Structure 1
Amino acid sequence: MNNKPSYEELEAKIKVLENKSLLVDSLKQDIEINNIFLKKLFDTIPNPIFYKSKDGVYEQCNNAFSKTILGVPKEKIIGKTLYDLKEYIPKKYADIYYKKDAELFSNPKEQFYEGAVKCADGVTRDYHFYKSPFIIEGEVLGLVGVMLDVSNYKNTLLELKNKNQILSDLSITDHLTGLYNRRYFQEIFEKKLSLLNRYNYQFSFALLDIDFFKDYNDFYGHHEGDIALQEISNILKNTLNRPNDYVFRVGGEEFAILFEVGILDSAHCVIEELRKKVEDLKIIACNNSVCHYMTISVGLGNILKVAPNTNSEVIYDEVDKLLYRSKESGRNKITVKDIII
């Protein structure tokens, strides 16, 4: 029996082979086009991207990583580890990245963290790192990393925080003197009273008034009066500048001070020092019946005990009476009392 294929059969088989060859060529071309596309896409993405083997060797990276982060061609990165690139990656950063990579390989899950990166232009920027293990058939072969520059975002947040702080400061600050205002005085005063009732916390409260300030304003004008207020306010700020000292402008020429001393007798010493410093400014007084220079009168209360739910106005009135007594008894004086209500 003749088993040789006929001419027609051979022609058909050749045709099939030719079609398969054309298909293979077409697939190769598609793969090549896809590879070119993926490479172009990889390098076009503005975020730095890299791939490392499990040994920590850079196997691939995009232009954003090579140019922005290290500032060198890819050829100088591929095949190197973090520590091989010490000319471009400071050791303190390399140690951080190495530790993070090791954590990912030991626990192959998605990883996210924020880190500072010294870029090729010498600027240190904040980046979010997104890393994922590269796993095939259960075996970890390496990791893929994507970096997102969040420096502008963080700077914007910081600017917003600073602006909010400025707004907050403005809302509690007297614009002329830079001291805290009356609204903030009420807030702090209530907090201190709450601490006193809860923890037997004691503090001192002084109200002071500039003697004959209206006469000074009427004679020299409001501009000079404002300058005098600012000078005295600076004395208050510089004299009571500890963390728990609070100085407020609560009226035109009236000020309040909330402060703490280890020994209550010391409170009088603090206020006496303040009284002398104001007089030593040597601001010429218009009414010199007390002194040739501008002075202050002070009511000082050492707040020792207050019954729960006592209205703060009651305590304020007690200290205001002490201030009034200083004025009635000749001004440029301090009247002190331990207050227990």
Structure 2
Amino acid sequence: MSDAQALDGDRHLNQLAFQRAVSGMAFISADGIFVSVNPSFSSLLGYEPDELIGVHVQVLNERPEVSVASVSPSWLAYYTLETPSEMRLSDRNGSTVWAKVSVSAHELAGEKPGSLLYLMQLQDITERKRAQLAEASLRMSEQMYRAITEHCTDIISKHSLDGLYLYVSPSVQTMLGYEQEELVGTSIYDYFHPHDLQLMNTAVDELESRTALKLPPYRMRNKEGDYIWLETHLRVIEAADEHGREFVCVSRDITDRKNTENQLRKTNALLQKISSIDALTGVANRRSFDENYAKEWRHGLRFSTPLSIILLDIDYFKRFNDNYGHHEGDICLKQVAEALKRAAKRPGDLIARYGGEEFVIVLPITDERGAAYVAEQLRQEVELLQMPHPSSDVSSFVTASLGHSTIIPTRDLPPRELLVRADRALYQAKQEGRNRSRAFGHG
């Protein structure tokens, strides 16, 4: 075999080894152009065989907006390393490929001295690198989780589905006074306020069809035996042993907020009460009467039940004021109001100051006979006050005249009709000599 034949044979073997090599291999010219690329190299980067031939090595740059030329005076300095190095490359679709990269220079035989061809070799380490990155991310997540659970002011806890504490964050000591080990293994239900147990059971039942839940505010007992209000977000997770499920809770102390809400409710209730009470007599005012009367009219209309109204007027009250002065007149109104409370004492009855010396009494589900009885009781209670009234033409003491009326509300009657009839009955009582009660339509 001649030297030429032997040389051709070596070249053929080298070419065969290059094409069949498991590792990616490519020859690159001094100006960075791919001259020859083996199948492993093109396959690793998602290219068809020979698709990279004539293309600049810049195509491998994972950040195409940063050109190789801008990073280094030549492509070679960017990729040539003394030892193989892990690099992020970009495949044909722009996705990241991790590879161990090495570049070596080879002098071209038969060319002018210094003419070089560069061999780039790639070893695919994408899967290993992804596993490393995933592990690093997991470690970072664990560190972040530990930092959150150890320093978060909210309580983070994990429970079995039957409510046992499996884990609780250190913040439980600050919020509830318990050490972590005191709660682990105990049931969360042992710490709920008794009045909130059913509420919590109902909420937790929803976990059958949901994986996340915001629990309604509830009270939990701290180590000193007091109760604080908590707001909890709950999420169901798969148990660590892959059997069954567990749930994670993030609980926040809302005691201050609940106390503020309760105080606001009390304040609003007080304001509502103040706005519905006559400041002088302590009975309902005209506004409260209007609201109550409208409600009771609707009730009577719906259920066809009788509704009665009594109008009461203090006899010759203007003369009382003229004789004793307005201060004594106010005292008189207060005592009359107290007398009326003693006579109309059913929970549903309403006594209101209708205006000046006039009062109105609403008697729900009361027929004419019942209204007549209450009216007479009212009259007697006022008379029993024995408040001197020398200016009266009917008695030497304060007295009252009353008119009452009863209606079963219908859609054909306006609500005011009952008041009009009671007023006519009151007028009749005054015409007949005062200090008496009269029903509408009766002589």
Q: Same fold (TM over 0.5)?
A: yes
In angstroms, what is the RMSD of aligned CA positions? 4.0
Percent identity of equivalent pairs: 26
Tell me which residue corresponds to 1:317: 420
Q: Please point out which of 287, 297, 301 is paired with 1:183.
A: 287
Q: Please point out which of 310, 331, 337 is paired with 2:434.
A: 331
Q: Please point out which of 316, 321, 336 is paired with 1:212.
A: 316
| Structure 1 residues 94 and 223, CA gap change in structure 2 (3 angstroms) | closer
Distance, in Å, in 1 between the alignment partners of 2:414 and 2:195 is 58
User: Which protein has the larger Cα radius of gyration, Structure 1 or Structure 2?
Assistant: 2
Aligned residues: 314
Tell me which residue corresponds to 1:117: 220
Counterparts of residues 1-341 of structure 1 (less than 5 Å): 38-52=145-159, 58-69=165-176, 71-78=177-184, 80-82=185-187, 89=191, 109-114=211-216, 115-135=218-238, 140=244, 142-260=246-364, 263-304=367-408, 308-310=412-414, 312=416, 314-338=417-441
Deviation larger for 219-228 or 89-98: 89-98
Considering fraction of residues, name the structure with more helix.
Answer: 1
Distance, in Å, in 2 between the alignment partners of 1:186 and 1:93 is 37
Distance, in Å, in 1 between the alignment partners of 2:428 and 2:388 is 24
- Check the 8 A contact 1:300/1:336 in 2, yes or no: yes
* TM-aligned CA deviation for residue 236 of structure 1: 1.5
Q: Aligned AA for 2:187?
A: L
Distance, in Å, in 2 between the alignment partners of 1:140 and 1:106 is 12
Q: Deviations over 1:310-339 (max 9, x none)?
A: 361x54333222212222222111112259
Aligned residue for 2:224, secondary structure, equals: coil
Structure 2 unpaired stretches of 5+ = 1-82, 85-133
| Structure 1 residues 283 and 105, CA gap change in structure 2 (3 angstroms) | closer
Q: Deviations over 1:2-33 (max 9, x none)?
A: xxxxxxxxxx89xxxxxxxxxxxxx9999988
- Larger relative contact order (C-alpha < 8 A, sep ≥ 6)? 1
Distance, in Å, in 1 between the alignment partners of 2:233 and 2:422 is 62
**Please, what TM-score do these two structures have when normalized by structure 2?**
0.59
* TM-aligned CA deviation for residue 127 of structure 1: 1.8
Q: Deviations over 1:191-230 (max 9, x none)?
A: 4444445543312211111011111112222111111111
* TM-aligned CA deviation for residue 154 of structure 1: 2.7
* TM-aligned CA deviation for residue 270 of structure 1: 1.3
Aligned residue for 1:250, secondary structure, equals: strand
**Please, what TM-score do these two structures have when normalized by structure 1?**
0.75
| Structure 1 residues 307 and 60, CA gap change in structure 2 (3 angstroms) | closer
Distance, in Å, in 1 between the alignment partners of 2:210 and 2:275 is 51
* TM-aligned CA deviation for residue 249 of structure 1: 0.8
Tell me which residue corresponds to 2:14: none
* TM-aligned CA deviation for residue 289 of structure 1: 3.1
- Check the 8 A contact 2:368/2:405 in 1, yes or no: no
Tell me which residue corresponds to 1:5: none
| Structure 1 residues 92 and 303, CA gap change in structure 2 (3 angstroms) | closer
Distance, in Å, in 2 between the alignment partners of 1:91 and 1:303 is 49
Distance, in Å, in 1 between the alignment partners of 2:153 and 2:398 is 67
- Check the 8 A contact 2:349/2:361 in 1, yes or no: yes
- Check the 8 A contact 2:310/2:371 in 1, yes or no: no
| Structure 1 residues 250 and 61, CA gap change in structure 2 (3 angstroms) | same
Distance, in Å, in 1 between the alignment partners of 2:314 and 2:352 is 14
Q: Deviations over 1:21-60 (max 9, x none)?
A: xxxxxx9999988766643432221111112356865443
* TM-aligned CA deviation for residue 93 of structure 1: 9.5
Distance, in Å, in 1 between the alignment partners of 2:280 and 2:333 is 8
Q: Aligned AA for 1:211?
A: D
Distance, in Å, in 2 between the alignment partners of 1:35 and 1:164 is 48
Deviation larger for 252-261 or 51-60: 51-60
Aligned residue for 1:247, secondary structure, equals: strand
Q: Deviations over 1:149-184 (max 9, x none)?
A: 233333333333333333333333222112222233
